[in-house]
Structure 1
Amino acid sequence: FKDEKLDVAVDAGNGSAAAIARVASGAYDIASADMAALMEFYGNNPDTPNKPVAVMMIYSNTPAAVMMLKKSGIRKPTDLAGKNLGAPIFDGGRKAWPIFAQANRIGPVTWTSMDPPLRETMLVRGDVDAITGYAFTSLLNLESRGVKAQDVTVMAYKDYGVKQYGNAVIVSPQFLDRHPEAVKGFLRAFARGVKELMANPKAAIETVKARDGIINPALEERRLAMVLDMAVLTADARAEGFGAVDEARLRLMASQLSDTYKTKVRVDAAKLWNASFLPSAEERDIFKSLKKK
């Protein structure tokens, strides 16, 4: 950011809904938020001014998944019919479940709600048959509860017909209008940061530790590797280019979300996405870092 002559302060977030609200209120200029949450905001707040606009895709695929212990005997999506699934009521994987269920022809299931810290605990105790959530979070949480990764079955939504996007960089439309060059510089710096992160993950984690001294570097290195594998360095990202989207795919996501979430108005994908601030394809080619290794 300094090389782009930008003075950037980074604050911790508290979920996508809060990040979107903070940018919409004008308290923040830029944030990272889940595209499904942004679409839901658009669909349920049609008259709200200053709705944030997504300008760069970070997660080309949602990391949402349904997970269960292998000893449950659940081997394929249709085995989930009639089972008891658990997740917080606001969990993105739970909210997108109807899309996953329709794509895989899964019969009715029942849901148990809980606070996020109890999700994996209830799966281990057998209170629920399966859970939904971000795989890279739940797998590490299960491990901390004594469950090995090889004893967990993961059905990633992206591998079972749900082609939704994940987190994106969102910006206040007022900031876009007033400071377009700053936004372009921010995205160039962001793309460069991703490249440097991939080239030296340990250094990236140490930078985070300097800001948050209580993190476990070894654990966060593993989490980072999982995030890259599940959401960033995917086949869709290779096809579309890091940071960009396939507009037909984005429209399909908006249509599916409008139906599934039963938003007040149908979501118009064109209104919440603006690719004109993106760096060049060369500047965004994070896959070159892989070729050099």
Structure 2
Amino acid sequence: MRAISTNAVCCLLTLLLGLLGLGSGAGEGRAAGETRPPVAIQFSLDRPIDASAAPFVLAASRGLFGSEGLAVSTNIASGSVDGIARVAAGTSDVALVDINELIRFRDKPGARPIKAVFVLFNKAPYAIIARKSRGIRALSDIEGKTLGVPEGDLSIRLWPALARQNGIRTASVKQSRISAAVREPMLSAGQVDAVTGFSYLSGVNLRDRGIPADDLAVLRYADYGCEAYGFALIVSPAFAAAKPEAVKGFLRAVMAGIHLTVKDPTRAAEEVVSRMDGGSRDLELERLHAVIRDNILTADVRRNGIGGIDPIRFGRAVDQIAEDYKFQKRPDGADIFDDSFLPAPGDRVIN
């Protein structure tokens, strides 16, 4: 009789634990029998979709976000400053922005403690794009020339450090402020000798405008000693605190999208073009190859995997920013980057 009573009590406890989802195996049973609503994420790209957004396009089109229990809605910001502002205001949960703009933003009084959680571009895409026919084949040739600097261009902010590092007299380079809309046309027409911009954007767009590839010199800052990282994913502090597993799932999906992009760039470019208004498959494939080669799959990434930062290199990059920016408080890596959401190290290795 006593044994029967004990068994009855055990059965009752098991039933109660099962109802509460606390018993052994209860989590699996609930997951199998219950459909949970996906976690909604508002995601901002810093510019309209092009091939550089392939990992995010594939994460959406291949159901990678969905498999992580996420419903991701993508919106387009008008640049990194706007993307950061959206995350700061809480209108976006995650954004892709230039990490160097984030560093400057965080130095402002009262700035929200937004951090990057994943570095997509291990090397910044900053570049000077020039015409060889105008006498520019290397960075040292820029002296005595006219450099077109578009409004809002990010590359020019690290120009003082680059010039000093390479012994170039900045006073000898005439800067002509121009609209971003006429950057490529003015260089094509010979109205300026060179322009600042992103290597994978202006460098590829100019070839599309009919300038022969052998007449273009794409002088990447990274090839001349620039230590800066490039585009990174930032996350709202409130969202990260409330839904850390959703942030981790977002990064896992993006990581899977990167693997697919690197494995088959042609198909990735085709999927991107299918979401563009009048995009060119050949142009975007060329752009994607440039992004993978110069910004994503760098020697550092091949050694250590993608997504994180090297604190020592980060410190050198901050020193270079300080050539043209006076910090109120110089940041270190932990002030700007949170590695707690990163996928496992083995998953971040790209072959």
Q: Which moved more, 1:101-110 or 1:83-92?
A: 83-92
CA distance in 2, matches of 1:243, 1:140: 25
1:114 matched to 2:178: yes
CA distance in 2, matches of 1:263, 1:86: 27
Contact kept in structure 2, 1:65 and 1:155, CA below 8 Å: yes
CA distance in 2, matches of 1:98, 1:190: 34
Q: Offset of 1:75 from its aligned partner?
A: 3.0
CA separation of 1:240 and 1:105: change in aligned 2, threshold 3 A: farther
Which residue does the alignment assign to 2:190? 126
Contact kept in structure 1, 2:208 and 2:283, CA below 8 Å: no
CA distance in 1, matches of 2:95, 2:303: 25
CA separation of 1:211 and 1:154: change in aligned 2, threshold 3 A: closer
Which residue does the alignment assign to 2:237? 173
Which residue does the alignment assign to 2:46? none
Which residue does the alignment assign to 2:265? 201
Which residue does the alignment assign to 1:231? 295
Q: Offset of 1:17 from its aligned partner?
A: 0.9
CA distance in 2, matches of 1:180, 1:220: 34
User: Equivalent of 2:83, from 19, 37, 44?
Assistant: 19
Which residue does the alignment assign to 1:152? 216
Q: Which moved more, 1:99-108 or 1:195-204?
A: 195-204
CA distance in 2, matches of 1:118, 1:130: 13
Q: Offset of 1:101 from its aligned partner?
A: 0.3
Supply the AA of the counterpart residue of 2:146: N
Q: Which moved more, 1:101-110 or 1:205-214?
A: 205-214
CA separation of 1:206 and 1:144: change in aligned 2, threshold 3 A: closer
CA separation of 1:77 and 1:206: change in aligned 2, threshold 3 A: closer
CA distance in 1, matches of 2:279, 2:186: 25
SS in 2 for 1:86: strand
Instruction: Give the superposed CA RMSD.
Output: 1.7
Give the gaps of 5 or more residues in structure 2: 1-64
Q: Which moved more, 1:237-246 or 1:264-273?
A: 264-273
| TM-score in terms of structure 2 length | 0.77
Supply the AA of the counterpart residue of 1:274: D
CA distance in 1, matches of 2:278, 2:209: 20
CA distance in 1, matches of 2:106, 2:82: 14
Which residue does the alignment assign to 2:256? 192
Q: Offset of 1:90 from its aligned partner?
A: 2.2
CA distance in 2, matches of 1:78, 1:197: 35
CA distance in 1, matches of 2:208, 2:98: 26
Matches within 5 A, 1:39-50: 39-43=103-107, 45-49=108-112
Q: Offset of 1:89 from its aligned partner?
A: 3.7
Contact kept in structure 1, 2:148 and 2:175, CA below 8 Å: yes
Q: Which moved more, 1:225-234 or 1:80-89?
A: 80-89
User: Equivalent of 2:134, from 56, 59, 72?
Assistant: 72
Which residue does the alignment assign to 2:115? 53
SS in 2 for 1:105: coil
Q: Offset of 1:255 from its aligned partner?
A: 2.8
Q: Offset of 1:164 from its aligned partner?
A: 0.8
Answer with 1 or 2: which has the greater Rg: 2
Supply the AA of the counterpart residue of 1:256: Q
Give the gaps of 5 or more residues in structure 1: 288-293
CA distance in 1, matches of 2:327, 2:197: 22
Contact kept in structure 2, 1:251 and 1:268, CA below 8 Å: yes
Q: Offset of 1:87 from its aligned partner?
A: 1.5
CA separation of 1:98 and 1:259: change in aligned 2, threshold 3 A: closer
Contact kept in structure 2, 1:255 and 1:267, CA below 8 Å: no
CA distance in 1, matches of 2:77, 2:294: 22
User: Equivalent of 1:251, from 315, 318, 327?
Assistant: 315
CA distance in 2, matches of 1:277, 1:79: 44
CA distance in 1, matches of 2:185, 2:279: 21
CA distance in 2, matches of 1:119, 1:159: 22
Please list the CA deviations of residues 3-57 of structure 1 after superposition, one character each: whole Å capped at 9, or x if unmatched: 11111112223211111110011000001001111111112x23123x4210111
Contact kept in structure 2, 1:57 and 1:168, CA below 8 Å: yes
Larger RCO (alpha carbons 8 Å, 6+ apart): 1
| TM-score in terms of structure 1 length | 0.92
Please list the CA deviations of residues 88-141 of structure 1 after superposition, one character each: whole Å capped at 9, or x if unmatched: 142111111011101101012221011112112212222222111111111222
CA separation of 1:261 and 1:204: change in aligned 2, threshold 3 A: same
Which residue does the alignment assign to 1:62? 124
CA separation of 1:98 and 1:240: change in aligned 2, threshold 3 A: farther
CA distance in 2, matches of 1:6, 1:246: 30
Aligned residues: 285
CA distance in 2, matches of 1:213, 1:184: 32
